[in-house]
Amino acid sequence: MNSQDLPRLCLEAFVSGLVFVAVSGLIFWPLEELLEGEKAARPKFKDIAYLWFYQSYGLWIGAGIIYELAFLLRGLLPHTWTLFVKQQPFWLQATVALLMAEVWVYSVHRLAHKWEFLWRFHKVHHTVVEMTWSASSRQHPVDFFLTIVGANLPAMILGIDLKSIALFVLLERLYTVMLHSNLNLDWGWFSKIVASPNLHRLHHSPTCRGKNYAGMLSLLDVLGNTYKSPTSARVQRNLPLEGSLENSQTVVDPWNGVEDPG
């Protein structure tokens, strides 16, 4: 990349973030208003700003880190291995990329609730006391980059088709917005395989701690004995977390913490 490409790339990243926010808002904001009415939480400007930044320059920076690390680490693999990976069909590469990413997301999320060092960053996300689409990217930068880089680095090192990785990132980003939306949606028995908004709401609820860490594949929670069904618990909707500033009638600052709910 030469210096003349930099302004164009910066503009593309800027616009891509705006498009992502616009698409997310056009899908989930009307659904929240239509289906939830007075229960629907109104988007906050700070949350929309975080959503825009992480889905634009955040992903751009993350992609740069992933590319550089993959370039260094790929040399440790035999050349025959990368050739073998490239010969596999697209659907298989996409599936492997998804599984590796989801295992990382589950593992690092669970660890972030158990290890005080990581919790100091992840607790920013748990200042989300009102489930809404716009708050899905309320994250500390360390938490964001640890998740996005770790989720996609293995696929890049193995030489998996970039289209597979891009497809996963887009799917995961949109699905994350839906998981944090204030929609009363559950997939029934299929929620034991793929997470639903009601399932993730339990994770943010003060009545359910140490459960439902998975991103999209809740099957990992089932296997890790951390799954809790929304039908087996009373989900408190849009109630403040214990220890949050909301309980003291103060506006929640995303850079202040809450007690570890794990």
Mean pLDDT value of segment 159-182: 89
Give the pLDDT score at 131: 86
Higher pLDDT, 243 or 72: 72
CA dihedral of residues 221, 111, 150, 183 (deg, nearest 10): 50
Among left, alpha and beta (phi > 0; psi -120 to 50; other), residue 117 is alpha
Give the pLDDT score at 190: 93
Taking the mean position of all CA atoms in its chain, how far away is CA 5?
Answer: 29
pLDDT single digits (tens) 109-168: 999 999 999 999 999 999 887 888 999 999 999 999 999 999 999 999 999 988 878 888
Give which of 229, 233, 206 is closest to 218, Cα–Cα: 229
Q: Which tokens belong to 262? A: 């794990």
Q: How far apart are CA 249 and CA 172, in angstroms?
A: 34
Higher pLDDT, 35 or 104: 104
pLDDT score of 260 more than 60: no
Give the pLDDT score at 239: 44
pLDDT single digits (tens) 21-55: 999 999 998 888 887 755 667 788 899 999 999 99
Give the pLDDT score at 2: 63
Model confidence, pTM: 0.84
pLDDT single digits (tens) 202-259: 998 877 778 999 999 999 999 999 999 887 655 545 444 333 333 323 333 333 444 5
Higher pLDDT, 11 or 37: 11
Burial class (CB in 10 A: 0-12, 13-18, 19+), 66: buried
Give the pLDDT score at 75: 84
For the four alpha carbons of 71, 77, 81 and 83, in that order, the dihedral sign comes to: positive
Q: Which long-range contacts (CB under 8 A, 24 or more apart) does 14-20 make?
A: 14/56, 14/57, 15/56, 16/55, 16/56, 16/59, 17/51, 17/52, 17/53, 17/55, 17/56, 17/57, 18/52, 18/56, 20/51, 20/52, 20/55, 20/56, 20/173
Give the pLDDT score at 43: 81
Whether the CB-CB separation of 207 and 260 falls below 8 Å is answered with no
Instruction: Please name the residue ranges forming H helices in the chain.
Output: 6-36, 45-53, 59-74, 79-86, 90-114, 116-122, 141-158, 162-179, 197-204, 219-223
Q: Distance between terminal CA atoms of the chain?
A: 44
Give the pLDDT score at 254: 38
Give the pLDDT score at 1: 57
Give which of 91, 70, 95 is closest to 82, Cα–Cα: 70
Please give the C-alpha separations between residue 237 and each of 62, 82, 95, 197, in angstroms, as whole numbers: 33, 47, 34, 11
Q: Which tokens belong to 73? A: 């680490």
For the four alpha carbons of 225, 227, 229 and 235, in that order, the dihedral sign comes to: positive
Q: How far apart are CA 239 and CA 242, in angstroms?
A: 9
